[in-house]
């Protein structure tokens, strides 16, 4: 296995035309046993208040649930930006981590609810990286909470030839 990508972004290369087309995934865990992450840039049309009323006070009434990936769509992963990182069940990068479902955090600066996740079996993500299906970039604390199209933003941040790639329209036929 290559070095762990925990806390990194996986930016879908333009060659991915499946579920992950133009996706940006935050890797939550990457070990010899596999990898898991959440797609950051696929908002659903469902509000947190409708889907998980218990979290509405923390998230805000109009906050949308995001589609974290194709695996376990009935499961929830709540990401938070913690003032006190000891409140997180897992810190992913900086002050950003996974909210412990058994505790009500008191130090959240912001949070986002994801339904489902992206998962890779042992060696699968490493193989996809070798095939250049993903572009790896460092995550920034605001990435999990970004409103808008994160794909070009993350590519632009990477710089070089990726800046040009970032200008690619969602529908290449419009180019």
**Domain residue spans of the chain:** 8-174
Q: Quick one: pLDDT at residue 173?
A: 56
Q: Quick one: pLDDT at residue 61?
A: 76
> Please, are residues 118 and 71 in contact by the beta-carbon 8 Å criterion?
yes
CATH superfamily of 8-174: VC0467-like (3.40.1740.10)
Q: Quick one: pLDDT at residue 174?
A: 57
- Under-50 pLDDT residues of the chain: none
Q: Quick one: pLDDT at residue 78?
A: 95
> Please, are residues 59 and 99 in contact by the beta-carbon 8 Å criterion?
no
Q: Quick one: pLDDT at residue 81?
A: 95
How far apart (Å, rounded) are the C-alpha atoms in residues 115 and 72? 8
How far apart (Å, rounded) are the C-alpha atoms in residues 175 and 168? 8
Q: Quick one: pLDDT at residue 41?
A: 96
Q: Quick one: pLDDT at residue 171?
A: 62
Q: Quick one: pLDDT at residue 161?
A: 82
**Is this model's pTM higher than 0.85 or not?**
yes
């Amino acid at each position: 296995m290559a070095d762990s990508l925990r806390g990194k972004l996986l930016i879908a290369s333009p060659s991915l035309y499946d579920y992950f087309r133009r996706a940006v995934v935050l890797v939550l865990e990457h070990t010899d046993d596999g990898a898991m992450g959440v797609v950051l840039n696929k908002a659903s049309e469902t509000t947190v208040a409708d889907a998980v009323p218990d979290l509405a006070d923390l998230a805000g009434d109009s906050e949308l649930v995001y589609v974290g990936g194709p695996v376990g769509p009935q499961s929830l992963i709540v990401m938070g930006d913690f003032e006190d990182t000891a409140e997180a069940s897992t810190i992913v990068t900086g002050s950003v981590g996974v909210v412990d479902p058994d505790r009500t955090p008191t130090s959240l600066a912001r949070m986002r609810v994801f339904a489902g996740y992206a998962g890779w079996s042992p060696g699968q993500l490493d193989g996809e990286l070798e095939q250049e299906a993903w572009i790896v970039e460092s995550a920034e604390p605001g990435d999990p909470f970004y409103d808008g199209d994160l794909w070009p933003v993350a590519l632009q941040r990477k710089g070089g030839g990726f800046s040009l790639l970032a200008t690619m329209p969602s529908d290449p036929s419009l180019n």
